[in-house]
Amino acid sequence: MMAHIKRALRIGQTTQPVLLSDVNVAKQDPEQEQKVKTAVANLVSSLLELERHSYDVRRELSTLSLNAVVRKKE
């Protein structure tokens, strides 16, 4: 009975670490790989579009700010 409890609680047992060399490489799924590449391409293009839009907004805000300062001085 006591031996069963010790085994269940892993008392007195040593554990073996799992090493990278002990694990088999997963099979490559070409369809999944293509989906990931497509998603990455979409993300990059979205980020570029966001950067362009951000630049346009900042340029417009700076123009509006300059116009407001010039009007105050007049």
* Cβ 12 vs Cβ 6: under 8 Å: yes
Counted domains in the chain? 1
* Cβ 38 vs Cβ 32: under 8 Å: no
pLDDT in tens, 2-56: 888 888 887 877 888 889 888 888 888 999 999 999 999 999 999 999 999 999 9
pLDDT in tens, 45-67: 999 999 999 999 999 999 988 88
Q: Does any domain span residue 67?
A: yes
Q: Does any domain span residue 60?
A: yes
State which residues form the domain around 62. 41-74
pTM over 0.85: no
Which helix (H) or strand (E) element contains residue 65? Answer: helix 30-73
Q: Does any domain span residue 29?
A: no
- 74, pLDDT greater than 80: no
Q: Does any domain span residue 72?
A: yes
Locate 48 and state its tokens: 């570029």
d(Cα 35, Cα 52) in Å, to the nearest integer?
26
**What are the φ/ψ torsions at residue 14 (nearest 5 degrees)?**
-100, 145
